Amino acid sequence: MHCASCVRILEKSLSRVEGVSNCVVNLATETATVTYDPKKVADNDLVSAVANVGYKAGIEQELKTEDQQKIEKEKELKVLRNKVAASLFLGSLILWGSFPGLMQFAPAILQNFWVQLILATPVQFWAGLIFYQATIPALRHRTANMDTLVAIGTTVAFSYSAFVTILPQVVENIGVKPEPYFDVSTIIIGLILLGRYFEAKAKVGTSEAIKKLIGLQAKTARVLRDDKEVDIPITEVVIGDTIRVRPGEKIPVDGEIIEGISSVDESMVTGESIPADKTKGDTVIGATINKTGTFLYKATKVGADTMLSQIIKLVQEAQASKAPIQRLVDLISSYFVPIVIMLAMATFVVWYVFGPTPAFLFAMLNMVAVLIIACPCAMGLATPTAIMVGTGMGAENGILIKDAESLETAHKIKTVIFDKTGTLTKGKPEVTDVVRLQGTGYSVQEVIKIAASLEKGSEHSLAEAIVVKAKQEGIKLSKADKFKAIPGHGIEGEVDKKRVVFGNRKLMDKEKVEVQKLVQDDIERLENEGKTVMIMAQDKKLVGLIAVADTLKESAKEGVEALKIKGIEVVMITGDNLRTANAIAKKVGIKRVLAEVLPDQKETEVRKIQQEGKVVAMVGDGINDAPALAAADIGIAMGTGTDVAIEAGDITLVNKDLRSVASAIELSKKTMRTIKMNLFWAFGYNIILIPVAMGILYPFFHILLNPIFASVAMASSSISVVSNSLLLKRFKT
């Protein structure tokens, strides 16, 4: 769509479709909102109407807003709460009137079976309706679930009790005392619904992180259009819009400052706690808060492309992914419910044939206990809830985890390899020393001039440092010809018609340039200070040295220390020579150094360490170190900008804080511990309590599980799993 006439053409075409009552086309967002009669109009009719006039359309279903969904959920919870209260109240009355030891104190009316039947019926068919509503369609699909078990269990107890109430003589004739079990059916329904109520409340907490992220989004933007400032919904902001942001306001979308200075609090998106100073040319992130100044900026990313949207998408995807540990649960859960039904039938048969008298009652009550105690929900919830809370906590702290598998692998990491430039260091090197060599006739300024003229065309971070230095010194640069970069060595070219090579020792050896002892001493001295020394030769003769140093990140030393405390080996990898590399490694406390590694060899070095039998994490920048990050068991990318999605890492640290490497590993350990604990409880619970409900302890200790206690255990099992996952929220970086 290009102009207002497209809008009119489309509106006209869509309105012509029979059944369409209203149509509004928005040029800025390229969307059409169509009100139509679904009986007369199919989605395809609308797509064809758009296609007929030469455009292409996709259908976007109008989903209920978050608020509407929340209101509906709250309504559902309220209904559930009422059902819980009613069934537990009625159940308690029945229990009072029928439970041995209690019934003596109950009014006669409550001991009347017909009254109990009247009290139990609404619980069974109103409060318990949801169990039938889930069971009947499931049976049509030949599947069974939790609700099937509850429906069968309570129906058996209720039907038997109703039969006893209506036709007591029939039961008496077969030698069974006519006693109903309405307390069992009602209390089970009440307790299971109560469990479900708490579980629903707790589950809301597991997806809180994503809701918080979505809630960060600004609603409107103050955009300059036709020299006027207008407030428009954020969905209508387009790339290139100029937006004004005042102190205290939320920055609506990602962009670049074109006027003004300010300090911006980015903690909500990146987890970085210190506000960042911003000036013209700097990038700002949507949903962060402008603290001090007013500025104008140009929108560079809108809608799904903003950093926040990408983070939300990444977290959502991670929360939906499956951890390898869950495979076994998946397998078991597909067979679980039918197996429980079969076990319940076997329980009935065994108790009826071999059990004590009254055999029928024992058989029935134990069968109901087996059906009620089985809890597949706890197994189903064990892993995903922990993954959801774990990845959510990561995102809140600026640690984005790509998927559940990465979260699971991270706790096994034994070695962490840090790339030096841009990861341990800030990646913004500065020229620290310039040495001119005696007898060449060049001054320090001239050495800088030749180097900067040559480096002007290079994209290397060291080149930038030299060009900046020349600018600071006010040196006018010459034109360089025949420029060529030699990866891992340096550069060559012609300046003022003289051939110049500029790079490391390897380049000098390659070019057969002799490096005298005195110069060698200078080089060693500078390298021992952790500086990268570049040697310049003109027509095969040494001209000068330029030393460049990069500043270590504030978090580097602590980040390395935190890993060492965990017993993790820390390695530094760099293209620098061994002396410089060692000097820097010493500053941060790294003992194992892989120096003089060419960019394309980093991947091989990662694999070599993996062959030592170690689980390796590589920390680097997501773009240049992508192959090495991919080769590592876990690639940890340092966030470099607002393009979170293109980073190649399994984990991306948007907070750029090296201490987060240890935090990510810790988060993985805690999440895995939670998952294992959840699975232990969920499996252990079912494996131990189902045989108890079947009566396995009866021959030895005369212990049987009352179906009411079975429902207490069942209701608490899911809640305990979800609550245990929620404990992960206490995680602190």
Partner 1 sequence: MSLDEIMVIIFGLIGIVFTLWFFLMKREKEVEAVGEVDITVSGGYSPEVISIPKGKTTKINFLRTDPTDCLSEVVLGDFKIRKELPLNQRVTIEITPQQSGEFKFSCGMNMYHGKVIVR
- Residue 138 interacting with partner 1 (CB under 8 A): yes
Angle ∠(584,585,591) on CA atoms, nearest 5: 160
Cβ 642 vs Cβ 307: under 8 Å: yes
Cβ neighbours, 10 Å, residue 191: 24
Nearer residue to partner 1 within complex by CB, 400 or 519? 400
Which residues between 353 and 372 bind partner 1 (CB under 8 A)? 353, 363
One character per residue 621-660, x = contact with partner 1 (rule: CB under 8 A): ----------------------------------------
- Residue 352 interacting with partner 1 (CB under 8 A): yes
- Residue 333 interacting with partner 1 (CB under 8 A): yes
Closest to 481 measured CA to CA, from 495, 468, 501, 466: 495
Among 15, 21, 52, 69, binds partner 1 (CB under 8 A): 69
Tokens 């006693």 locate to 179
Nearer residue to partner 1 within complex by CB, 347 or 624? 347
Among 241, 254, 396, 403, binds partner 1 (CB under 8 A): 403
CB of 208 to partner 1, least distance (A): 15
Task: Please give the DSSP secondary-structure letter assigned to residue 643.
Answer: -
- Residue 259 interacting with partner 1 (CB under 8 A): no
Segment interacting with partner 1, rule: CB under 8 A, options 138-146, 416-424, 545-553, 667-675: 138-146
Tokens 């069992």 locate to 184
Distance from C-alpha of 733 to C-alpha of 730, rounded to nearest angstrom? 10
For 152, the token pair is 């069968």
One character per residue 176-215, x = contact with partner 1 (rule: CB under 8 A): --------------------x---x---------------
Distance from C-alpha of 61 to C-alpha of 13, rounded to nearest angstrom? 20
User: Which amino acid, one-letter code, is at 544?
Assistant: G
Cα–Cα distance list, 246 to 284, 297, 343 (Å): 14, 11, 68
Cβ 382 vs Cβ 199: under 8 Å: no
Which residues between 39 and 68 bind partner 1 (CB under 8 A)? 59, 61, 63-64
Segment interacting with partner 1, rule: CB under 8 A, options 116-124, 343-351, 532-540, 724-732: 343-351
Phi and psi at 731, nearest 5°, equal -60, 130
Cβ 91 vs Cβ 187: under 8 Å: yes
Among 71, 224, 230, 342, binds partner 1 (CB under 8 A): 342
- Residue 376 interacting with partner 1 (CB under 8 A): yes
Distance from C-alpha of 452 to C-alpha of 431, rounded to nearest angstrom? 11
Catalytic, 419? Answer yes
CB of 345 to partner 1, least distance (A): 5
Closest to 610 measured CA to CA, from 588, 641, 647, 635: 635
User: Which amino acid, one-letter code, is at 44?
Assistant: N
The footprint of partner 1 on this chain (CB under 8 A) covers a number of residues equal to 56
Positions of E strands within 402-552: 415-419, 430-436, 480-486, 490-495, 498-503, 532-538, 541-549
- Say which residues have a Cβ less than 8 Å from residue 678's Cβ, sequence separation at least 6: 378, 381, 382, 383, 385, 386, 721, 724, 725
Closest to 303 measured CA to CA, from 361, 243, 358, 236: 236
Among 142, 512, 702, 732, binds partner 1 (CB under 8 A): 142
Segment interacting with partner 1, rule: CB under 8 A, options 111-119, 131-139, 422-430, 668-676: 131-139
| Secondary-structure percent of the chain, ordered helix, strand, coil, rounded to 5 | 55, 15, 30
User: Which amino acid, one-letter code, is at 416?
Assistant: V
Nearer residue to partner 1 within complex by CB, 556 or 634? 634
- Residue 345 interacting with partner 1 (CB under 8 A): yes
**Catalytic pick from 147, 241, 403, 419?**
419
Strand partners, 399: 653
- Residue 522 interacting with partner 1 (CB under 8 A): no
Which residues between 266 and 325 bind partner 1 (CB under 8 A)? 316-322
Closest to 200 measured CA to CA, from 112, 15, 70: 70
- Residue 35 interacting with partner 1 (CB under 8 A): no
Nearer residue to partner 1 within complex by CB, 29 or 207? 207
CB of 156 to partner 1, least distance (A): 13
CB of 232 to partner 1, least distance (A): 28
- Residue 335 interacting with partner 1 (CB under 8 A): yes
Cβ 292 vs Cβ 236: under 8 Å: no
Among 15, 37, 70, 76, binds partner 1 (CB under 8 A): 76
- Residue 83 interacting with partner 1 (CB under 8 A): no
Catalytic residues: 419
Binding site for partner 1 (CB under 8 A): 59, 61, 63-64, 69, 72, 76, 130, 133-147, 196, 200, 316-322, 326, 329-330, 333-335, 337-338, 341-342, 345-346, 348-349, 352-353, 363, 376-377, 379-381, 384, 403
